[in-house]
Amino acid sequence: MTTHTFRQLAVIFIFLIGYTPFSQAAPSCLGGVSSGFKLGGAVTHPKSFTPASLGQYQASKMTVTYFSDSAGLVTKTFIGVPLYDLISEAAVSTDSTRKNDMLRKYLVINATDCYQVIVALAEILPATGGQQAMVAFATVDESGAILPLDDSEGSVKLVMPGDKTGGRDVFHLSSIVVRSAPSL
């Protein structure tokens, strides 16, 4: 096989199968309880978080109601850290030559079982959407006691208030990756 033929086959393979650089290997999708999550991507200060490290931040309390196919109407109160606070601390990287570059950013939010949702950064920025998304590490029961999240939710989870079905609530949170929309 000639070098030219090999290159042609390699290009065809890449187009048919796809290409993922080794530094971006596919995550493991075994599922299971998360012990924490990583915040990275297009940020200046990537960081890892656990329930204990989240407990060092100014905590918020949020009650959400959503419809679950298995449980019907669910109302639950969570304790956690506003997602905006964590993103702000990580310092999203922007291009100063692009008008409103922050509005081109989005978050890829992953669970241990490879469940994945996308949240536009503009949704949680106070000056635009102002959505009060939260990374929760505890819940409040009927008696008012604060309890860690149970194994069905993982040690940390993303809570997106206002979503009617809770489909963007991510149980067993494993990572939040900041990305930028491709240039035209």
How far is the CA of 1 from the CAs of 13, 31, 137, in angstroms? 16, 43, 57
Domain ranges of the chain: 28-180
Length of the chain: 184
Determine phi and psi for 113, rounding to 5 degrees: -95, 15
Model pTM above 0.85: no
DSSP 156: S
CA angle 118, 53, 116 (to 5 degrees): 15
pLDDT value of residue 18: 43
Please report which helix (H) or strand (E) contains residue 18, including its range: none
- Asked if the model's pLDDT at residue 38 lies above 80, the reply is yes
Of 6-20, 34-48, 138-152, least confident by mean pLDDT is 6-20
Return the structure tokens found at 119. 């949240």
Tell me which residue has tokens 């978080």.
49
**Rounded average pLDDT over 144-149:** 94
Q: What is the CATH number of domain 28-180?
A: 3.90.420.10
- CB-facing half-sphere around the CA of 94: CA atoms within 13 A: 17
pLDDT interval class at 110 (50, 70, 90) = very high
pLDDT value of residue 2: 53
Return the structure tokens found at 127. 């000056």
Mean pLDDT of the chain: 87
Return the structure tokens found at 31. 């599922």
pLDDT interval class at 1 (50, 70, 90) = low
Task: Please give the Cα distance from 146 to 51 (Å, whole number).
Answer: 13
- Asked if the model's pLDDT at residue 184 lies above 60, the reply is yes
pLDDT value of residue 133: 96
Distance of CA 33 to the CA centre of its chain: 16
- Asked if the model's pLDDT at residue 13 lies above 60, the reply is no
Task: Please give the Cα distance from 50 to 73 (Å, whole number).
Answer: 29
Task: Please give the Cα distance from 125 to 19 (Å, whole number).
Answer: 33
